[in-house]
Amino acid sequence: MHSFRVSKILALAAMLVACVAPAVHAASMRDLAPADQYFGRLKMSVLGIRNELNALEQRAQSGDRNVAAMSGKLAFVDDAMRDWRAHYPRDTWLPRYEAQRTRVAAMIAYAGSPRTRFAPAAGAAIQLLGTLRR
């Protein structure tokens, strides 16, 4: 008799969890920016922001020295990300993109800096930031 009650309580608890879980998930979905919403002056989507960050990172890694152009594009990404954060402050994608943005900004700054005796240390720091992403 005792095991029947335990089984019944466990079944009831499982049903309760099954009913509540979709409601919790639905609340978190409202915190995410939709893919078809656009942010900032350039009206960049979340995927557009990701693509631009990836392109800037690729350019900086390949040795592109056009710091002015890369910094200008990064400024537009910053503007879009500020707008995104203002509308969806609890979006779970934001921290990852902000970390990538910080890494890209460091790479661009390194590309524009004169090569000094500290350049190898700066290069090592950028490499370390890249490994933290994975």
Say if residue 47 is in the same domain as residue 16: no
DSSP 8-state code for residue 44: B
* Structural domains in the chain (count): 2
Domain that holds residue 21: 1-30
SS3 134: coil
Same domain flag for 92 and 127: yes
pLDDT at 120: 55
Distances from the Cα of 91 to the Cα of 25, 27, 33, 85, angstroms: 13, 12, 7, 8
From residue 24, alpha-carbon distances to 8, 31, 114 in Å are 24, 11, 52
Do both 2 and 60 map to the same domain? Answer: no
Position 25 scores a pLDDT of 44
DSSP 34: P
**Are residue 1 and residue 44 in the same domain, yes or no?**
no
Same domain, 20 and 47: no
pLDDT along the chain (134 residues), means of 10: 56 50 53 90 94 93 85 93 94 93 89 58 58 49
Residues 46 and 17 in one domain: no
Q: Is the pTM of this model over 0.75?
A: no
Same domain, residue pair 51 and 6: no
Q: What pLDDT does residue 10 have? A: 57
Please give the pLDDT value at position 122: 58
Residue type, 48: G
